[in-house]
Amino acid sequence: MMFIRYAVYRFFTMLLTLWVVSMMVFIIINLPPGDYLSNQIAELRATGQAEGVAKAEFLRAEYALDRALWEQYMIWAGFMPGPNGFAGLLQGDFGWSFEFDRPVGEIVGDALWLTVLVNLSAVLFVYVVALPLGVLAAAKSETWVDYTAGFVGYLGLATPNFLLALILFYYGNKYFNLPIGGLMDPALEGEPMSWVKVKSILLHMIVPTFVIGTSGAAAMMQRLRANMLDELSKPYVETARAKGMAPARMLAKYPLRMAFNPFVADIGNLLPSMISGSVLVSVVLGLQTIGPSLLTALKSQDQFLAAFILMFVALLTLIGTMISDMLLVLLDPRIRYGGRET
C-alpha cells in the first residue's frame, strides 16, 4: 500500500515538473529576437511579395503569435482558448511547423517511436555491456583484465559519436555487409508493419545502437567499477571471505547489491543524454528519428516543432527518473518513501 502511495506521489510530482519544464522550454525558445514568421515577413516585404506577407500575417494571427508571450504559452499548452478554441498540447494538437508547412504531429509521428526504439535499444546495450565488464574489472582489480577494460572504457569515452559512426559506417558495410544509413529499407518506409519490415529495422539498428550506446556503456562501467571497489574494501566482505563464501556468490550477494543503486539511478540520465547526443549521429547515419527535425527546427526558429520535441525529451527524462526511483525503492529497503518508513 505504501509503495502505491509513493508511486502516485511520484506520478503527480512528475506532472508538476513537466508543467514547469513546459514553461521554461517555451520561454527559452522565444528568447532570441523574432521568430520564423517575423523573419519570413521581413524577407517577403523586402522582395515585394504582398501575397506571401498576407499569408504569413494570417498564420501569426491563426496561431496567436501576435499576442503577449504568456497568452501564447497558455494557448499552446491548451490552458486557454485561442482563435480555434482549446487546441493545445493537452488536447493533442501539437501546433503547426512553419518550416515544413505541415502539422507537427505528421512530421514527428513515425520518428517518435523510432527514436524511443533506438534509444531503448542503446540503454539495453549499455547495461548488458557495462554490468559484466564493471563487475569483472573490479573483481580482477589491477590485473590485465582491469587494465584492458579500463583502456576500452576510456577509448569509448574519448571517441566522438559521429567519428565512431563514420568508422562503423564504412567497415560495417565492407566486412559484415551491414546496411548503410537509415533505420529501414527505403522501400519499406510508409508501409504497414510486417515481419520483413521488422527484420529490416533490427538489421539497420545494429550500428546506431552500438554508436549511441558506446560512450554511455564506458561511463557506466567506470562508475560501477569504482563503486564495486569501494564496497570490496568494506569489513563485511572480509567477513564473508573468512566464512568461506564462494567469491562469485559473495560478489553477487553483497558488494554488487550495494553498488547497484547508482547503476539503477542512472536510467533517468541515460535517456535524455542519448537522445541529445544522437542528434549528430542521426544526421550522419541518416536516421529517421527526431534528431534531424530538432536541429532543423532550432536553426529556423520553428518554435512549435522545437518546443514539442524538447517536451518529448523532457517527458522521457522524467519517466526514466520515475522508473529509476521506483526500482530503487524496490531494490533497497533502506530507502524511505518521502521521509516515511518502508
Average pLDDT over residues 20-34: 86
Q: Tell how far CA 172 is from the center of its chain.
A: 25
Residue 312 lies in a domain: no
The tens digit of pLDDT for each residue in 43-93 reads 777 777 766 677 777 777 877 887 888 888 898 888 888 888 888 888 888
**CATH classification at residue 133:** 1.10.3720.10
Q: What is the model's pLDDT at position 342?
A: 41
Residue 338 lies in a domain: no
Within this chain, do residues 88 and 153 fall inside the same structural domain, yes or no?
Answer: no
Within this chain, do residues 139 and 288 fall inside the same structural domain, yes or no?
Answer: yes
The residue among 70, 104, 138 that closes a domain is 104
Residue 21 lies in a domain: yes
Distance CA 37, CA 99 (A): 9
Q: What is the model's pLDDT at position 19?
A: 93
Within this chain, do residues 97 and 6 fall inside the same structural domain, yes or no?
Answer: yes
Name the CA dihedral angle for 278, 280, 285, 286, rounded to a multiple of 10 degrees. 100
Within this chain, do residues 124 and 269 fall inside the same structural domain, yes or no?
Answer: yes
Residue 333 lies in a domain: no
Distance CA 7, CA 14 (A): 10
Within this chain, do residues 181 and 36 fall inside the same structural domain, yes or no?
Answer: no
Q: What is the model's pLDDT at position 18?
A: 92
For every residue of 8-29, DSSP letters joined together read: HHHHHHHHHHHHHHHHHHHHHH
Q: Is 246 helix (H, G, I), strand (E, B) or coil?
A: coil
Within this chain, do residues 27 and 111 fall inside the same structural domain, yes or no?
Answer: no
Within this chain, do residues 88 and 122 fall inside the same structural domain, yes or no?
Answer: no
Which ranges of the chain does DSSP label H, i.e. alpha helix? 2-29, 36-47, 50-62, 69-77, 104-139, 144-158, 161-176, 195-204, 206-232, 235-242, 247-253, 255-265, 267-285, 290-300, 303-331
Average pLDDT over residues 310-318: 86
Out of 28-37, 91-100, 128-137, 208-217, pick the least confident: 28-37
Res. 24 pLDDT band, cuts 50 70 90: very high
| Three cell numbers, residue 240 | 564473508
Out of 132-141, 176-185, 196-205, 318-327, pick the least confident: 176-185
| Mean pLDDT rounded to a whole number for the chain | 81
Residue 340 lies in a domain: no
Using the predicted structure, report yes or no on whether residue 191 has a pLDDT greater than 80: no
Print the domain residue range for 29. 2-104
Res. 17 pLDDT band, cuts 50 70 90: very high
CB-neighbour burial class of residue 158 (10 A; exposed 0-12, middle 13-18, buried 19+): exposed
Within this chain, do residues 177 and 94 fall inside the same structural domain, yes or no?
Answer: no
Cβ(328)–Cβ(265) below 8 Å: yes
The tens digit of pLDDT for each residue in 283-292 reads 777 777 888 8
Count of domains forming the chain = 2
| Three cell numbers, residue 330 | 524496490
Within this chain, do residues 66 and 122 fall inside the same structural domain, yes or no?
Answer: no
Within this chain, do residues 92 and 117 fall inside the same structural domain, yes or no?
Answer: no
Within this chain, do residues 269 and 144 fall inside the same structural domain, yes or no?
Answer: yes
CB-neighbour burial class of residue 255 (10 A; exposed 0-12, middle 13-18, buried 19+): buried
The residue among 104, 128, 153 that closes a domain is 104
Distance CA 237, CA 254 (A): 7
Within this chain, do residues 92 and 122 fall inside the same structural domain, yes or no?
Answer: no
Nearest-CA neighbor of 185 among 162, 202, 164, 210? 202
Q: Which among 44-58, 146-160, 177-191 has the top mean pLDDT?
A: 146-160
